[in-house]
Amino acid sequence: MNDRIQVATSGPIVGSIQPPGSKSITNRALVCAALAHGNSILRGALDSEDTQVMIDSLDRLGIVVEASDEKQTLAVTGCGGRLPKPTGDLFVGNSGTTIRFLTAMLAACEGEFRLDGVPRMRERPIGDLMDALNRLGSDCQGEIKPGFPPVKLKARGLGGGDVEVRGDVSSQFLSGLLMAAPVAKNPVRVHVTGDLVSKPYVHMTLAVMKSFGIDVGQTRSEDSLSLIELAAPQKYTGIDYQIEPDASAASYFWAAAAITGGSVTVKNLGPDALQGDVGIVDCLEQMGCRVERQPHQITVSGKALRGIEVDMNAISDTVQTLAAVALFVDGPTIIHGVGHIRHKETDRIGDLARELRKLGATVEERDEGLTIIPGPLKAATIETYRDHRMAMSLALPGLLVPGVVILDPGCTAKTYPHYFEDLAALCRGAH
């Protein structure tokens, strides 16, 4: 792909689309299938940088993953908790799910490992997860800086017991710990301290684990997920598993309808999906769009009309999507509860605010959110900061504003390699 792309303007977009498989579910299913007794088939998997680095790491550990059907079907040979290769130097790119899930998974096994990534990954915290694993019997340290990758791990299995993990930095710490816990020698009680961010992702983790045969028990303080008890030792079981289309990816197409006044249906993704990010349609509905929810598809129609005030903690991967729509409505859009997204692929508050201002908006930035006040829109060249979501979301204003240029559009390969082709096809009225 070129080092930049100018977005073609469009009239109202009308059509339907099925985005590729969920990155979040694909990487969770890969971990569960890798730990399983027996083989698994994962259908509808995502082929992207984030899943490729997970599969490459599993391969380096001796866990066979065979791809077919244009890499949308993955056959995984489970190791039953005993790694064929108990040593490895693993490269995870800038995939937060991969480094956090693998660190926990490997701690539950035995061997010596090193996990590293791109320079930005070395700035993304993992210390709370490492501390929790060490309290359960692991030896896990930051090789250069305490609490940050590269991670050096001497694994000897997890003993079980009570452990605390912070919930206010990343829900991936808790998800990684939960997937490792059933392989421990004794039951694990996880106490979550602080306000847990992105709660739907934790419910997703527990749902995937349950599909692979794990008794996930009961959570106390269901709304806060403040205490989770998991029986151990348990066995993951190999299964045939269907992965949903990616709801975060779907958000861009629903937003395209909201910006252009069109109508877009996302297929095979309904309101009861495992992914909380389908909740973006509730925000678009509050902005004035029409939303039709059916069991296996959701349609968004009509222009977004007005700004809203919303806590997006539970759907924080769609903050940039909503921000793009907020440029075209009457009145400010106020987003709360997303301070943790400053620690993602880039600072998704500060850097987002900078790019929105280029497009003509007034943006008030806060530690835990931002306020977007629409203004006269103008052409702009958008820096993406190697962040796939920055590229995908801030391409959307270009559907109505001539001269919007996206730098480094290839960064979408992290989760959606063919995003710009699919967006262009939808704009041409493809179904």
- What residues are labeled active site? 317
Q: How far apart are CA 181 and CA 202, in angstroms?
A: 14
Q: Binding residue per annotation — 24?
A: yes
Q: Which residues pair with 89 in a beta bridge?
A: 114
Helix orientation angle between 23-35 and 49-60, rounded to the nearest 10 degrees:
10
Cα–Cα dist 328/398, whole Å: 12
Helix axes of 319-326 and 350-358: crossing angle, nearest 10 degrees: 20
Question: Does 96 belong to an annotated binding site?
Answer: yes
Is 170 flagged in the annotation as binding? yes
Alpha-carbon span 405 to 398, nearest angstrom: 8
**348 assigned binding-site residue:** yes
- Those residues with Cβ within 8 angstroms of residue 401's Cβ, 6 or more apart along the chain or in another chain: 9, 359, 377, 378, 379
**β-strand 87-91 against 110-116: which pairing, if any?**
parallel
Phi, psi for 345 (deg, rounded to 5)? -55, -30
- Give burial (CB, 10 Å; 0-12/13-18/19+) of 146: exposed
267 assigned ligand-binding residue: no
Q: Is 159 annotated as a binding residue?
A: no
* 389 appears as a binding residue in the annotation: yes
* Helix, strand or coil, per DSSP, at residue 208: helix
The response to whether 317 counts as a known ligand-binding position is: yes
Contact of 111 with 87, CB cutoff 8 Å: yes
Query: Are the C-beta atoms of residues 172 and 130 closer than 8 Å to each other?
Result: no
**For residue 185, what are its two tokens?**
């020698």
Q: Give the DSSP H/E element, type plus range, for residue 180.
A: helix 171-180
Could you tell me if 232 and 183 are in contact, meaning their C-beta atoms sit under 8 angstroms apart?
A: yes
- How far apart CA 316 and CA 280 sit, in angstroms, is 10
Residue 2 φ/ψ region, left for φ over 0, alpha for ψ in the -120 to 50 degree band, beta for the rest: beta
Token readout for 178 is 């939960």
Rounded CA-CA distance 390/320 in Å is 7
Amino acid at 411: C
Cβ–Cβ < 8 Å for 391, 355: no
Residues making up the annotated binding site for 3-phosphoshikimate are 23-24, 28, 170-172, 198, 317, 344
Residues making up the annotated binding site for phosphoenolpyruvate are 23, 96, 124, 172, 348, 389, 414
Residues making up the annotated binding site are 23-24, 28, 96, 124, 170-172, 198, 317, 344, 348, 389, 414
